[in-house]
Amino acid sequence: MIKSNLKEIIGVRIKIYRKEKKISQQALADAIDVDRCTITNIENGKQNFSIDKLIAIASFLDVEMSKLTDIKQNECGNCGQIIYKACVSDPNDTH
């Protein structure tokens, strides 16, 4: 399901940037006014979230929204591979 894949891809990207900046799930949760379990679920692609929350996350992580949401249509077809690549790739890579 494409919707689920999108949540997973965005969640993994949030996790990558959060860890890169050495920010805990609790600190991010506090900043956007949710509990830590919500952040865990977002990062694992199991939680729906609003655009407002996504904007708040991007702002707190000091990351452009496009870094979290720029997903090519063919990426959704093989989410497992994309998540693996996102985990092992440099999140600052613009390619």
Say yes or no to pLDDT of 82 above 80: no
Residue 3 has pLDDT above 70, yes or no: no
pLDDT of 21: 96
User: pLDDT class for 5, splitting at 50, 70, 90?
Assistant: confident
Predicted pLDDT of residue 91: 47
Cβ neighbourhood burial of 91 (10 Å; 0-12, 13-18, 19+):
middle
Report all structural domains of the chain as residue ranges with CATH numbers, in order of start: 2-88 (1.10.260.40)
* Interval 38-79: pLDDT, tens: 999 999 999 999 999 999 999 999 999 999 988 765 555 555
Can you tell me the distance from the alpha carbon of 32 to that of 53, in angstroms, rounded to the nearest whole number? 7
Write down the mean pLDDT value for the chain. Answer: 81
Confirm if 42 and 14 have CB atoms less than 8 A apart: yes
**Mean pLDDT to the nearest integer, 10-34:** 97
